[in-house]
Structure 1
Amino acid sequence: MQYNIYITGVGGQGVVKTSIVIGQACIKQGLNVVTSEIHGMSQRGGVVPVEVRIGDVNGPIIKNGSVDLLLSFEPLEAVRALPKLNENTVAVVNTEEIVPFTASLGISKYLSSKEYIDELKKYLKVVIPVNAEAIAKEIHDSIVSNMVILGVGASVPNFPIEKEYVIDAIKESFKPQYVNLNIKAFERGYELGKEYFK
């Protein structure tokens, strides 16, 4: 079994933390896991992609066209990930727009979230847009939006990690005062995903 997850977003959105939770959950379930992360300009709102490979894998790099699940915390970054995806990739995309500095200066153009999601739908059979920010704010704060996205991803029918192991990993990955909020965010995302796949 091989399962490839590509996580992308910009600095400060919890991309790396999400990969840590997935990695810990895999270890708890006894699954082999390899991750590759590029920090780049994550401190300054730059792109942060992380590749997570589960199962019978050797190296950390996912070949182009081999991603099973895309977790994107920003719509433009989902489109930028297209070379890694294929028509059967399930894409979970946060609809919150984070306009790059170059676009705010007028150097480059930034489309709407809907336009980026429509672009993804030209190439992928399953694209799940999620207003993770709104859901997270209902729970507490937008800081837990990454766990909403992970929850939706964990509900995908062939996702190899059992829910209980993800929850155990969340318990170990956050400070005690934030554990319940992150579990609640994960559960909300999971329920949303289950509704989608009914």
Structure 2
Amino acid sequence: MDPYNIYICGVGGQGIIKTSIVIGEAAMKSDLGVVMSEIHGMSQRGGVVSTELKIGDSRSPIIEDSTADLLIAFEPIEALRAISKASKDTYVVVNTSSIMPFNIQGSEIPYPEVSAVLEELESKVKHVFAMDAEKMAKKSGHVLSLNMVMLGGATAISGFPIEKDVILKSMKANLPEKSIPINRKAFEDGFEFVLSK
């Protein structure tokens, strides 16, 4: 199978690495090859975090520019920072809840309007699914389930290479048991949001 390239980005503390692990283990459970790379950056200080996954036949986890099939952005500005990985046909699932990057806090550089960020994304790719994952996570029962909202949305994308039930099994294997009901609701809410678009 030709590799299916997933680039995930956001800010430290949003659950990006855990999301990548869930996807990676689900790929292995599906007998699909998977390679993964991660950049922690300054994650302990709210800095940039990104992971790259290739599902299928690949030896290198690095996603070349314009070759991502799916971009999952947990933070709007990080979606723009990663847009070089996307082509016009890339699917983008983006959280509209912004987090002020540490490097512009207290500076004169304003955080752009999220609507302007989304306009820029839509000018570069055809398929943008923007959702307030933070609000959806809180509604599900806990803000820390934001990553499962995003994972649910990604799983609903046309062409996503792993079956939903395998992703759910991988979630159960990788998340604390007591958190499963909240995370399952968060996942389903994200899944239904993208499916309805």
TM range (shorter): over 0.9
Q: Which runs of 4+ in 1 moved over 2 A?
A: 101-104
Q: What is the alpha-carbon root mean square deviation over aligned residues?
A: 0.9
The aligned residue for residue 59 of structure 1 is 60
The aligned residue for residue 126 of structure 1 is 127
2:45–2:102 CA contact under 8 A, matched in 1: no
Distance 1:194 1:122 in 2: 22
2:39–2:50 CA contact under 8 A, matched in 1: yes
What does 1:1-198 correspond to in 2, within 5 Å? 1-196=2-197
Distance 2:64 2:103 in 1: 29
SS at match of 1:147: helix
Between the two proteins, the alignment pairs up a number of residues equal to: 196
The two structures have a TM-score, normalised by structure 2, of 0.97
SS at match of 2:104: helix
Amino acid at match of 1:176: E
Distance 1:50 1:168 in 2: 21
2:11–2:74 CA contact under 8 A, matched in 1: yes
1:8–1:49 CA contact under 8 A, matched in 2: yes
Q: How far is 1:28 from its partner?
A: 0.8
Q: How far is 1:75 from its partner?
A: 0.2
Q: How far is 1:101 from its partner?
A: 2.4
String of CA shifts for 1:151-194, please: whole Å, max 9, x gaps. Answer: 11100110000001000000011111111211111111111111
String of CA shifts for 1:14-70, please: whole Å, max 9, x gaps. Answer: 010100000011011111000000111111100001001000111110111100001
The two structures have a TM-score, normalised by structure 1, of 0.96
The unaligned stretches of length 5 or more in structure 1 are none
Structure 1 vs Structure 2: percent identity of aligned residues? 45
The unaligned stretches of length 5 or more in structure 2 are none
Structure 1, 109-118 or 99-108: larger mean CA deviation: 99-108
String of CA shifts for 1:84-116, please: whole Å, max 9, x gaps. Answer: 110000000000010112322124332021111
